[in-house]
């Protein structure tokens, strides 16, 4: 209760409630772009259109196409489908951060490591910080910090999706 006698909800819970209510892309969870009628942001919509275009081109290939051209087309199809999957994984990660029952300092440590990898290409930069984070922050505070870190790494992942897929 505050000095006026009203019950005050902790700020972290209020902020999380507001974050959960924001209209987002149904695939990647991004809330900074305008959404299309089907609920996708422009980046995810481009991925969806590209994947369907490549799939149609692959299905329409005549049987006289060389093996090299067929392999190239199949590679392009695999890349397009994997890029769609990466978009959806970003949204699943956001859902885990905002709504999953089991979320704590270990998840936050993983988010810190993702940012470290994006910035300085070292994935294990924040190892063994989970216990200290667990003592210092509440579960809702961990979620908010993880959400802010997720937003920062989403920009990097959106920019690098094709390179991530092509390298595997």
More confident residue, 1 or 57: 57
pLDDT score of 70: 95
Please tell me the number of Cα atoms within 13 Å of 89 on its side-chain side: 11
Tokens 């667990």 appear where?
134
CB contact at 8 A, 43 and 158? yes
Least confident of 58-67, 107-116, 158-167: 158-167
pLDDT score of 48: 97
* Distance separating alpha carbons of residues 150 and 153, to the nearest angstrom: 5
pLDDT score of 1: 47
Least confident of 6-15, 92-101, 129-138: 6-15
* Distance separating alpha carbons of residues 53 and 83, to the nearest angstrom: 14
Using the predicted structure, report yes or no on whether residue 55 has a pLDDT greater than 90: yes
Q: What is the pTM of this model?
A: 0.83
Tell me the pLDDT band of 9, cut-offs 50, 70 and 90: low
Tally of CB atoms within 10 A around 24: 21
* Distance separating alpha carbons of residues 84 and 101, to the nearest angstrom: 27
Tokens 């920062």 appear where?
152
Using the predicted structure, report yes or no on whether residue 123 has a pLDDT greater than 60: yes
Tell me the pLDDT band of 167, cut-offs 50, 70 and 90: confident
State the burial class of residue 156 (Cβ atoms within 10 Å of its Cβ: 0-12, 13-18, 19+). Answer: middle
């Amino acid at each position: 209760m505050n000095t006026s006698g009203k019950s005050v909800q902790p700020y972290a819970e209020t902020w999380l409630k507001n974050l959960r209510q924001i209209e987002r892309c149904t695939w990647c969870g991004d809330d900074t772009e305008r959404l299309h009628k089907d609920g996708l942001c422009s980046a995810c919509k481009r991925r969806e259109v590209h994947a369907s275009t490549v799939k149609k081109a692959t299905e329409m290939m005549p049987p006289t196409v060389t093996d090299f051209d067929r392999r190239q087309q199949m590679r392009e199809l695999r890349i397009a489908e994997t890029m769609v999957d990466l978009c959806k994984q970003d949204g699943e990660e956001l859902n885990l951060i905002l709504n999953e029952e089991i979320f704590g300092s270990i998840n936050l440590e993983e988010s810190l490591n993702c940012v470290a990898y994006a910035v300085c290409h070292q994935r294990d930069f924040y190892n063994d910080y989970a216990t200290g984070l667990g003592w210092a922050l509440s579960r809702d505070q961990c979620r908010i910090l993880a959400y802010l870190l997720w937003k920062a790494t989403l920009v990097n992942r959106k920019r690098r999706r094709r390179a991530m897929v092509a390298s595997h």
